[in-house]
Amino acid sequence: MNVTAIYPGTFDPITLGHVDLVCRASRIFDRVILAVAESKAKTPLFDFAERLELAREAVADLVNVEVVGFNSLLVDCARTHGATVILRGLRAVSDFEFEFQMAGMNRSLGPEIETIFLTPGESYAFLSSSVIREIAKFGGDVSAFVPGHVRAALVRKFAVSG
Ligand code: ADP
């Protein structure tokens, strides 16, 4: 069986927690599609093109991982790319309620697609893109939590916007 998983998110920006999850998934599934949501309503710090580029560079070494952008229903994006699994990360119980609701909605919209959850390595369990943005905004060191090129992009972003 050839199984493709789709890993959707805002990735504003991609962190080592996301990369940890993608690495784990790339060992389980034949193909992993990291799908960056345009998420205009969230007014992301990095625009769509920047988030796609940062994600592409972060997973460039993983041969069975591709990065795509989407601005549609997730199940439609999954179908377009032949994915039968939606992959999401669970860090703590606090993630559960929202993820449970999303998994239920996605199941009713796409009954042929299963949502599967992975947990990150323990050093990434407290990591989120929003915490990274906050630390970087105040000049804190995020080098243990994001790839080097993401750290550089954060430094540039806050140097420009203050
Ligand atoms: P979204 O806006 O869809 O929540 P995110 O980019 O914040 O997008 O997260 C995408 C997915 O990655 C979600 O399933 C989230 O739970 C998961 N995730 C985020 N950070 C981590 C982390 N540190 N470890 C594992 N999973 C994570």
Q: Three-state SS for 61?
A: coil
What would the pLDDT profile of 14-44 be if each residue is shown by its tens digit?
A: 999 999 999 999 999 999 999 999 998 999 9
Any alpha helices (H) in the chain, and if so which ranges?
Answer: 16-28, 48-58, 74-80, 93-109, 129-137, 148-161
d(CA 128, CA 123) in angstroms, rounded, equals 12
Q: What are phi and psi of 107, to 5 degrees?
A: -70, -40
Calculate mean pLDDT across residues 140-153: 97
Q: Is 129 in the pocket of ligand 1 (CB under 6 A)?
A: yes
Q: What is the pLDDT of residue 161?
A: 64
For atom 27 of ligand 1, the residue with the nearest CA is 89
Q: What is the percent of the chain where pLDDT is above 70?
A: 99
CA gap 129, 30 in Å, rounded? 27
Is any ligand 1 atom within 6 A of the Cβ of residue 46? Answer: no
Nearest CA residue ID for atom 26, ligand 1 = 89
Closest residue by Cα to atom 1, ligand 1, is 9
pLDDT in tens, 115-128: 999 999 999 999 99
Which residues does the annotation mark as catalytic? 18, 42, 91, 129
* Distance between CA atoms of residues 75 and 63, nearest Å: 24
pLDDT at 36: 98
